[in-house]
Amino acid sequence: MSQAKHLLIDDVTLAYGDVEVVHNVSLGLEKGEIGCLLGPSGCGKSTLLRSIAGFEPVKSGEISMLGQQLSTSQFSMPTEQRNIGMVFQDIALFPHLSIADNIAFGIKNWSKADKNSRISELLELVGLPGVEERYPHSLSGGQQQRIALARAMAPKPDLLLLDEPFSGLDANLRETLVPEIRDILKQEEMSAILVTHDQMEAFAMADKIAVMQQGVIQQWGTAFNIYHEPKTRFVADFIGLGEFLKARIKDAYSVETSLGVLVGDEKLVYAPGTEVELLIRPDDIQHEEDSDITGLIVSKWFRGSHYLYQVQLDNGEIVPCITACHHDHDVGERIGLKIEFDHLVVLPICDPESGICEIQESDVVPAAGA
């Protein structure tokens, strides 16, 4: 990776004693970019965040920022020298200090005029001007989270780390607060990394997302990429809703399935005849009364603007289907299905326990010029 990256994590492995918990992770963050470590509990995302802050040692690899080495197996810059801010899950405002004193905690050595100016600037930025003399208990949860953000941003850190900061808030508040926090960080042109297990938070906040499983980054890319172009079965399962159909590669652009021959607009990497799995998202299949393709509704969920059905095909395979909310059908009813693929997502057939895939090297079509 280029050393021009604002933050560079290069082939980093982390361990607790002899047990490795993060394996050979590499990613880079540009100036002003917001990254996210997304994954289930225990996947290593918070451990990786703590290593960036300097709380966890590096077993191998290197972490650097602005071209300066932060951590290697032989060296670790003290946390207080890294110029990194943190916002924690429990907010951790000091209850006995006023809002102004909370924000000023990390800039005590600034002159009084500069300190007051920065406090006023940040309160304006987070939409809470005039609360300097109030105390944390007098603010709502969302307001306290804004103050925690202002406190972390006060010293103008080179990087801001957010460790599941919205998990204690209710869903409606999270939905409005997360994009607001993103806007605040963008106004300050502040680089940041968010840790979360909530994909909607990740989508609303981050420019780039690292999907982690068992200490390994499965995919690093935009929200669009990881949703529409998952590289592994885990990413496809973890991000969004979907089902898999058995499929066979027909040619460079099409597959044979129980829904018929489906054609995509991008060249497939597997040779004709290869057995694969085809990812079906709910928006890939819609209801159409007169369709020749039909299935039996086995479950349904009301989602406000639409219904999400699970539909069983004649061969027993299950596919998701979205209909507008006025198309209300009962479980056990047979409905027609309309196939609307923009592109095909095909993945190798892998054993979920061992991770061993049936795809052989001979099944993969070499890239042009390879």
Residues 98-115: tens digit of each pLDDT: 999 999 999 999 999 999
- Which 3 state secondary structure label does DSSP give 82? coil
> Is residue 369 exposed (0-12), middle (13-18) or buried (19+ Cβ within 10 Å)?
exposed
Q: CB-based contacts of 156: which residues, under 8 Å, 6+ apart?
A: none
pTM confidence score: 0.88
Residue 123 has pLDDT above 80, yes or no: yes
pLDDT for res 1 = 45
Spell out the domains of the chain, with CATH numbers in brackets.
7-230 (3.40.50.300), 241-363 (2.40.50.140)
Alpha-carbon distance values, 132 to 88, 127, 146, 280, 366 (Å): 21, 12, 13, 52, 63
CA 60 to chain CA centroid, nearest Å:
25
Bridge-based pairing of strands 243-251 and 346-348 is: unpaired
Residue 367 has pLDDT above 50, yes or no: no
Amino acid at position 83, single letter? N
**Positive/negative CA dihedral, 311, 316, 318, 321:** negative
pLDDT for res 354 = 53
pLDDT for res 352 = 58
Q: What is the pLDDT of residues 314-365, one digit of tens each?
A: 999 999 998 888 888 999 999 999 988 878 999 988 765 555 565 554 455 5
- Which 3 state secondary structure label does DSSP give 217? strand
